[in-house]
Chains A and B, each alone.
Chain A
Amino acid sequence: MSDHRIPKRIYYLIFATLLLFTMITVEVAFYDLGILSFPVALGIACFKSTLVILYFMHVRYSSGLTGLFVSAGFIFLAILLVFTLLDVKTRDWQFQPDESGISLVVPF
């Protein structure tokens, strides 16, 4: 919990890492990675925010309960994304009545 247990060195180290990855983000933007460019950008962003949450927000040094609450936030974010994508990605699926009841026509 308290600040005193975490050496200043750690903060500087994390800060440096964040700066480094910011430079990597910029650098990567100049390469065409095809379909990979999106996952790579997101991956870097996730890594950086994890560092901020764990160290700058002290979650690493806090109780399990705090950790639980933090993860709950992400679980619900995942719910938001999954169900929204469930709609967006299946909009052209067709359900057609036929002799056997209803059949699903998926366009791929």
Chain B
Amino acid sequence: MSNTVAVASHPEPDNNYWTAGYGLKSWLLTTDHKRIAILYLIMISVFFVIGGLFAVLIRLELLTPAGDLVSSDTYNKLFTLHGLVMIFFFLIPSIPAVMGNFLIPIMIGARDLAFPRINLLSWYVFAIGGMTTFAVVLFGGVDTGWTFYTPYSSTYSKTAVGLTAIGVFITGFSSILTGLNFVVTIHKMRAPGLTWFRLPLFVWAHYATSLIMLIGTPVVAITILLVFLERVFGVGIFDPALGGDPVLFQHLFWFYSHPAVYIMILPSMGVISEVVACFSRKRIFGYGFVAFSSLAIAVLGFLIWGHHMFTSGQSILAGMVFSILTMLVAIPSAVKVFNWTATMYKGSISFETPMIYVFGFLGLFTVGGLTGLFLGALGLDVHVHDTYFVVAHFHYIMVGGAIMGYLAALHFWWPKITGKLYSEAWAKLSAIIIFIGFNLTFFPQFLVGYLGMPRRYHVYPDEFQIFHILSTAGASILAIGYAFPAFYLIWSLFRGEAAPANPWNAKGLEWTVPSPPPKHNFDTIPVVKEEAYDYSRLEEEVV
């Protein structure tokens, strides 16, 4: 304990990764995983703002039952671009490419990822994919929905579907490269003594995520490419007139995109494990179960995609099989939630900002997951498919779950990443604003969806208006809640107090190196002699 503090109070000026080189070139050509994480952080933050602006316009339009703010065509483009940007350019890379990139090597006691140059390449590929999507906006946008359903996308849409397809195709490769890098790193570069069952659960979660990226992403990339080929060259894959099958598209798309929802949530779950253990001062209850449930989610996630297709003309038998299998995936998710709760039991809990986000995650993810089971029930889904009920479901998981986890991570590791402390008071305040704003935005959507409000329409019956007003009001609060961190975090960069090596008194190798970490993370590679989250031992030492 005392020696780590000593390290932090004498940081060698040229030794940390921020000061290891100056100028744009030293950043754009870096192969340091920590700097690449920062590059990703900047880029996905920009995309988050852009995706958020689309959402603002959507919510404003929905304030009244008439289509008065934008035309129907524009509205279609707005929700398409919102979904595309938020999913492919924010949520999928968010925790893995920023936090995973920064933390995995340090957590496993390595000096970098296995393939540092491929890591940089993945960022450039991501940037090119992103620019292509910007170009789409300049060329008038795209209106197929983020799901690109055929035959609309392949035959009828008059918007820039081809260019969007290329953009998503390219971006997919950045995900594949990141996944590959993580898998190899976790297999090959663990410090001596760091066995699989001593790994932090954050690393397990990223391992499972990487497997999904490796197995799933090529499928969606090729599928989108096939849409492109059919549009441009008339190759008959999806168009029945050319001998194709439009429902085939949905199979191929959801084969990736259902598992992709776990790409978004698993890393968040990894974060929750770290934060819960730290602020309950306890080892994670049932470590092995939590670790294997990540793998179980990754594998089971590939068996249930047909629950998105119950009303698509898929056969009844397939619908029944997918419905039953869907129920299975709830088991590993529930294992995690129960184990986190059990971890808190008799722990000495403290309510720092990251922990507040964890509480947010636990409640909201549970609502999202349980409503997922409603949707997975074949009969019920026929009623609520393509309504706001579905919209509420996935926002509870993606915004309530995944983004809460991302914010927990950002606040938990911010002192490590930047070497600066942010204002706890402001951070707590905005965490609470976000929680309230979120629920006000999305809870009414369950109700209005159940009553029959379809998704992706901007003109609706008058009796639904009250729900939309609540939702838009909530979204305004949510927007304020999200704006705060941008200010106090950036402020902390310039005015914040210097962070010690281990501000939370947490376990894990990343807390043994100075904040911010030196360029090569470790002077000597550590030897690991204990399990993860050995908080009981830490407590004894301190007392």
A84 interfacial contact with B, CB 8 Å: yes
- Tell me whether B317 and A86 are in contact (CB under 8 A): yes
- Tell me whether A83 and B303 are in contact (CB under 8 A): yes
Chain B residue contacts of A76, Cβ below 8 A: 215, 302
From B219, B248, B315, contact of A91 by CB (8 A): B315
- Tell me whether B251 and A84 are in contact (CB under 8 A): yes
With CB as the reference atom, state the residue of chain B lying closest to A84: B251
With CB as the reference atom, state the residue of chain B lying closest to A89: B315
With CB as the reference atom, state the residue of chain A lying closest to B305: A83
- Tell me whether B316 and A95 are in contact (CB under 8 A): yes
Q: How far is the CA of A69 from the CA of B187 in the complex (A)?
A: 12
From B187, B215, B306, B318, contact of A72 by CB (8 A): B215
B357 interfacial contact with A, CB 8 Å: no
Given contacts A76-B302, A93-B315, whether A87 and B215 have CB atoms under 8 Å apart is no
Chain B residue contacts of A93, Cβ below 8 A: 315-317
Given contacts A65-B187, A79-B302, whether A87 and B315 have CB atoms under 8 Å apart is yes
Q: How far is the CA of A92 from the CA of B109 in the complex (A)?
A: 57
Count B-side interface residues using an 8 Å CB cutoff: 24
- Tell me whether A87 and B306 are in contact (CB under 8 A): yes
With CB as the reference atom, state the residue of chain B lying closest to A73: B215
A90 interfacial contact with B, CB 8 Å: yes
Q: Hey, what's the 0/1 contact readout for A43-83 against B, CB within 8 Å counting as 1?
A: 00000000000000000000001000100110010011001
The distance from the CB of A108 to the nearest CB of chain B, in whole angstroms, is: 14
Q: How far is the CA of A91 from the CA of B313 in the complex (A)?
A: 8
The distance from the CB of B361 to the nearest CB of chain A, in whole angstroms, is: 29
Sample of 5 further A-B pairs with CB below 8 A, known A86-B315, A87-B306: A69-B183, A83-B322, A88-B245, A88-B248, A90-B316
> Could you give 7 example pairs across A and B, Cβ below 8 Å?
A73-B215, A80-B252, A83-B318, A87-B318, A90-B316, A91-B315, A94-B316
Q: How far is the CA of A72 from the CA of B302 in the complex (A)?
A: 12
Q: How far is the CA of A89 from the CA of B309 in the complex (A)?
A: 16
Q: Hey, what's the 0/1 contact readout for B219-254 against A, CB within 8 Å counting as 1?
A: 100000000000000000000000001011001100
Q: How far is the CA of A90 from the CA of B316 in the complex (A)?
A: 8
Mostly, the B contact residues are helix
- A: which residues have CB within 8 A of B? 65, 69, 72-73, 76, 79-80, 83-84, 86-91, 93-95
The distance from the CB of B222 to the nearest CB of chain A, in whole angstroms, is: 11
Chain B residue contacts of A90, Cβ below 8 A: 315-318
With CB as the reference atom, state the residue of chain B lying closest to A79: B302
Chain A residue contacts of B317, Cβ below 8 A: 86, 90, 93
- Tell me whether A87 and B302 are in contact (CB under 8 A): no
Chain A residue contacts of B314, Cβ below 8 A: 87, 91
Interface residues of B in 295-328 (CB under 8 A from A): 302-303, 305-306, 309, 313-318, 321-322
Instruction: Please name the 10 residue pairs, one residue from A and one from B, whose CB atoms are nearest each other, closest first.
Output: A87-B318, A90-B315, A91-B315, A90-B317, A84-B251, A86-B318, A87-B314, A76-B215, A87-B315, A80-B255
- Tell me whether B303 and A79 are in contact (CB under 8 A): yes
Chain A residue contacts of B251, Cβ below 8 A: 80, 83-84, 87
Chain A residue contacts of B255, Cβ below 8 A: 80
From B187, B211, B247, B303, contact of A87 by CB (8 A): B247
Chain B residue contacts of A80, Cβ below 8 A: 219, 251-252, 255
Q: How far is the CA of A90 from the CA of B322 in the complex (A)?
A: 14
Q: Hey, what's the 0/1 contact readout for B320-338 against A, CB within 8 Å counting as 1?
A: 0110000000000000000
The distance from the CB of A68 to the nearest CB of chain B, in whole angstroms, is: 11
